[in-house]
Amino acid sequence: MAAFARARTSELAEPVARLWPDLAARDLRAPEIGLVMLRGRIGGDGAAFNLGEATVTRAVVEIKGGYRGYGQRLGREPATARLAAVADALWQNEQERARVEAEIVTPVTRRLAAESLQAKSEAAATKVDFFTLVRGESEP
């Protein structure tokens, strides 16, 4: 589900259109834009407080076989939230799960891992290397 929430639209739309062209998904909850109150913790690890809201789009679909999929993503992209729900519904079907994993989950997870590594590498380049000023002893 994390992969479906963070996939780019194309990372969902392309494999769904290519591999499941005849998929008829019924909207149980048509894509809907709303808010989620984001909570922080007092002092970082204490009781919750309300920090502020974020826009969220959610959708629920049902596909053949009665598999129900939930899509919910930050932002305001109704079509993408519905695609996330479709991908989740497909994943519920054990016959389809391997293909969903291979064609959607793995590529998205891999991209996110690469982006995360890039962000860490950029941060690491700004890490301070302290060196102690000479204190009168000879340096090794």
- Residues near other proteins (CB under 8 A) are 1-2, 5-6, 27-30, 32-56, 58, 60, 62, 65-70, 72-76, 88, 91-93, 116-128, 130
Distance CA 43, CA 24 (A): 48
Q: Closest separation between CB of residue 16 and other proteins, Å?
A: 18
Residue whose structure tokens are 């994943």: 91
Q: Closest separation between CB of residue 58 and other proteins, Å?
A: 6
Q: Which two tokens stand for residue 99?
A: 């293909």
Distance CA 123, CA 103 (A): 31
Residue 2 or 17: the one with the smaller Cβ distance to other proteins is: 2
Contact yes or no for 75/59 (Cβ under 8 A) = no
Q: Closest separation between CB of residue 17 and other proteins, Å?
A: 23
